[in-house]
Structure 1
Amino acid sequence: MDVIVVGGGLMGTAATFFLARRGLRVALIERNRVGTGATVASFGNIRRTGRYLPQLPLAHRSRALWGEAETLLGRDVEFRVTGHVRFVFEEESLEDMRTFVSAARPWGLHLEELGANEIRARFPGLAPGAIAASYSPQDGCGNPRLIAAAFAAAASRLGAQIIEACSVGAVERAGADFRVVTSQGVFQAPRLLNTAGAWGARIAAGFGETVPLTPRAPQMGVTEPLPHRILPVVGLWTRRPGTDAYLRQVERGNIVFGGAVERGHVDLDPGHAKPDPTKLPRQLQALQRLLPALAKVSVIRTWSGCEGYVADMLPVMGASATTPGLYHAFGFSGHGFQLGPGVGDVMAELIATGRTETPIHDFRIDRFAAAAA
C-alpha cells in the first residue's frame, strides 16, 4: 500500500481516484458509506462567484474536471452548465458585487453584470425587487448523491481498495509508515491523506497540528415538483444576516434550497446532524425574495449534514508541517462541493510528485501556528 486515505466524502474519493490513476496503490477508509456525510448534504452548487480570490485557480481546475466527469468516471453525475446568477437588492451589496467582479477578472473569472431590466427579461419570476445581478454562464450544478460514489467506483476499477462501514481508532506513526487501527483491521502505508471533513482536525491534532474548526449543520430542503422554468443556480449578494438564501431547480422539477438561517450545532460523537423544523418558516420567507412563487409550494423533505467550518473560512490543504508523509484536505466550510474534483487532483499531484501546479499556499495548516506565535 502506498497511500491511506481517511474519509470517504467527495475530497477523499476524488483523491483516491486521481492517486490510483497515477498508479499508486490506495486504500480509502470511510466510517459509513462513501459520500453520505457532508457531501450528500451539499446544495450541489458548482460556482466560482464570491470565492476567496487566491482560491480561484483551484476552482478553475475543478470546474474543468466537472466538465470531464462523465468521461472520467463512466457515468452521468448530473453536472449541468446552467449558469449561476446572484441577485442584488441593496446598494451596499451592489458595491460588493462590483468590487468582486473587477477583482476576479485578473484571476480568470469573467462575470456579466445585469441591470434590473435585463433581469426581468432573462429571468422572469425571479427576484422581482433586484436592482442588479452577477451572472456566471459557465457554472452550474451537480448531484451530491452521485459524485462521491462515482469517484469511488471508478477508483475501485483502477485497483483502489474502498473500505466502508469501517470506524477508525488510532492513527499513528509506526517507523517509516502510518498505522491506522480500524474495526476491520490494521492498515499501514508510508503516506496518509486526511480527508476526514469535520473530524479532520482531530487527526491533525494527533500529529501536533491545531486547527480552529467547528462542526456545523446546514439546513437544506426540497419542494414538490413544479414545471421546470428555472435554469440557473440562484443566490444573492448581501451583508445582512438571515437573508443569504439560495436555490436551484432540478430537471425533475423540485426546487432544492438552503441558507438564510444559522447553521446548527453538531456533536462529533456521533456526528449526526438534523434539520430544525422551527427554522423552516424563516428560511422560506427569505427564499420568497428570490422566488415569490414559493409561497404556494409544499416542502416535501428537509435534511442536514455535519460540515467542518474553519475560523478563517478557508480550507486546510497540503502537506503536514510536523510529519513527513502526512497530508491534509479538510475544513472546506460549506464551500467544498465545486472544489472537490480539483482538490482530489491537486492532492494526488502533490503526494505523487511533491509539488502542484495549482497554488495552495494560503491553505497550509501551519498558518494557525504562525498566527498564534
Structure 2
Amino acid sequence: MSGRISVDVAIIGGGLVGSSAALALRGMGFSVALLDKGFCGAQASGVNYGGVRRQGRPVEQLPLAARASAVWVRLRGLIGIDGEYQRSGHLKLAQTEADMSALEAYAETVAGYGLDLQLLSAGGLRQRFPWIGDGLAGASFCPSDGHANPRLVAAGFPAAARRAGVQVFEQTPVIGVTRQAEGFALETETGPSVRAGTVINAAGAWAAPFAASFGEALPLKRIYPSMIVTEPLPPLMDVNIGMEGGGIYARQVERGNCIVGGERGQALPDPDFSRPRSAGALAIMNRAAEIFPALKHAHAIRFWTGTEGATPDKNPIIGPSTTTPGLIHAFGFTGAGFQIAPGVGEVLADLVRDGRTQTPIHAFSPARFLARRAAASLATNGQAQDQQNDQKSEQREGFAS
C-alpha cells in the first residue's frame, strides 16, 4: 500500500506493548496506525518464555504489574482468546541459604503490594512439590502468578486491534520520523507515509535509533534469551518456576511439553538474528534434570532464541520524550516484558489522552539516563579540575623550594 494516511497516533513496533496500546487507544476513540518492520508479535513478544509473574520484579515495577494482572484475567473478553493463560502460581527456588534470605527479604519489602507470598522451608518445599529434587534451601510461592503461550498472545493483540479499527501495516519498516508543526511525518519503506499527532516508539531492540534521531541517546543493547521445549511428558509441573539469582526457569503446558530457559543465544553477523548455542542448550537441560528428576531422560525437540532490548538498570524506558513533545517511548524491557506489556499499553493510552497516568512510571522515565550522564560528566569534570589544581599546587611548591 502506498499513498498517505493521517491518524491521531502512530505506533512504531507491533509487539505486545505497541499492539496493546493500539487496542487501548481505539477503545478511547483515537484513530491509530500500527507499523511493524516484520510481522506483529514475531520478535521478543512472541518467542519469549511465557512467564506471567509479578514475583521477583523490582518494587518500582509492581504497580505496573498489578495493572497488567487485571488485564490478564480478562484476556479472552479483550482479544477473543485466552492465550493458554493459566493462573498456576509462580514458585521461586532458593539454591542456598543466602538465596533463601534474599527471598525472605523480598517478601518483607513487597508485603504491601498484594503478592501474598508464601515462604517454604526445604522440608515444606519437598512436601508440597515432591517432583522437585533434593538439595534446595527453600522457595517463595506467589499463588496469583502464572504463565501463557506468547505465540498466541502476541498474535492475538494485533488481531484484536485490527478488528477494533486500527490500521495495521506489517512488513512496513519506518525509515524516517520528523517533527512538524502539526505533529509528525513518518516515512516507510514499503507502505504509506503517515501523518500523526502523537508517535509511540515501541520498536523493542530497534527503538534506540528513533530516540537518537530526536536527540535522545538512550542506552540499549541486545540480548538473546534462549528456550528449549521437550517432548510431551506426563503431568509434572503444576506451577511456573524460577530461580533466585537466575539460572533456570521452567513450566509445563497442557499438552505435556516442558519449556525450559536460562541461557542466551549467539548473535549472528546480522544482529537482528541469533541462534541457540549447543553448549547452552545442553547446560540448560542438565541443570533442569538436576532440579526436576523426571526430565532426566526427556527429549528436547525444539530450540529457539529471540532478540530483545535491554537497559543498564534492567528497568524499561516508558514515558514522554525529554526533547520532543508528542513523542512517547516504551522499550527496553530486558527480557521481562511479557507480563507487564498489557498494562504498559493502557498506560501509554493514558499518556496520549490525558498527558499523565495514575500508574507510577517515574522510575522508567528516559530522563533518568540523561541525569546520570550529566552527573557522571560533572564528576569527570570535577576530577579533571582537581588534577589541574593539584598540578598548580605542585608547581607552586616547586617554585617555593
Taking the aligned partners of 1:196 and 1:2, their CA distance within structure 2 comes to 19
The runs of at least 4 consecutive aligned structure 1 residues that moved more than 4 Å come to none
Gaps of 5+ in 2: 1-6, 375-401
CA distance in 2, matches of 1:37, 1:91: 37
Matched, 1:252 2:260: no
Q: Percent identity between the aligned chains?
A: 41
Q: Work out the CA distance in 2 between the residues paired with 1:53 and 1:329.
A: 19
TM score, norm. by length of structure 1: 0.95
Instruction: Name the CA distance, whole Å, in 2 between partners of 1:76 and 1:100.
Output: 31
**Shift in Å at residue 187 of structure 1?**
0.8
Query: What is the match of residue 32 of structure 1?
Result: 38
Amino acid aligned to 2:164: L
Q: Kindly tell me: are residues 7 and 284 of structure 1, through their superposed partners in 2, closer, same or farther at Cα, counting changes over 3 Å?
A: same
Asked if 2 retains the 8 angstrom alpha-carbon contact of 1:218 and 1:264, the reply is: no
Equivalent position of 1:48 in the other structure: 54
Is the Cα–Cα contact under 8 Å of residues 265 and 305 in structure 2 kept in the other structure? no
**One-letter amino acid of the structure 2 residue matched with residue 364 of structure 1:** S
Q: Are residue 354 (structure 1) and residue 355 (structure 2) matched?
A: yes
Deviation per residue, 1:267-310 (Å, 9 max, x gap) = 6x561122112321112122223212222011000001110010
Helix, strand or coil for the counterpart of 1:296? Answer: coil
Q: Is the 8 A contact 2:12 2:200 kept in 1?
A: yes
Output aligned runs, 1:25-104, within 5 Å: 25-104=31-110
Residue in structure 2 matched with residue 206 of structure 1 by the alignment: 213
**Aligned residue among 10, 14, 27 for 2:16:** 10
Question: 2:290, 2:63 → 1: CA distance?
Answer: 32
Equivalence for 1:237: 244
Secondary structure, aligned partner of 2:199 = strand
Match of 1:184 in 2: 191
Counterpart of 1:151 in structure 2 is: 157
**Matched residue, 1:339:** 340
Distance 1:220 1:235 in 2: 14
RMSD between superposed Cα atoms in Å: 1.3
1:315 corresponds to 2:321:
no
Distance 2:215 2:354 in 1: 25
Partner AA of 2:237 in structure 1: I
Q: Number of residues paired by the alignment?
A: 367
Partner Cα separation in structure 1 for residue 196 and residue 268 of structure 2:
32
Instruction: Tell me which residue corresponds to 1:225.
Output: 232
Q: 1-side partners of 2:265 and 2:68: how far apart?
A: 26
Q: Quick check: 2:103–2:140 contact (8 Å CA) kept in 1?
A: yes
1:371 corresponds to 2:372? yes
Q: Which has the larger radius of gyration?
A: 2
Instruction: Name the CA distance, whole Å, in 2 between partners of 1:116 and 1:127.
Output: 11
Note the C-alpha offset of 1:11: 0.5
CA contact (8 A) 2:319 2:365 kept: yes
Q: Is the 8 A contact 1:219 1:304 kept in 2?
A: yes
DSSP 3-state at the match of 2:151: coil
Contact 1:87–1:127 (CA<8 Å) still a contact in 2?
no
Q: Distance in 2 between matches of 1:245 and 1:229?
A: 17
Partner in structure 2 of residue 302 of structure 1 = 303
Spell out the pairing of 1:168-183 with structure 2 (5 A cutoff): 168-182=174-188, 183=190
Note if contact 1:217-1:266 (Cα within 8 Å) is conserved in structure 2: no
SS at match of 1:87: strand
Give the whole-Å Cα distance in 2 for the aligned partners of 1:323 and 1:87: 44
Shift of residue 101 of structure 1? 0.5
Measure, in 2, the Cα distance between the counterparts of 1:233 and 1:58. 20
Return the letter of the residue paired with 1:304. T
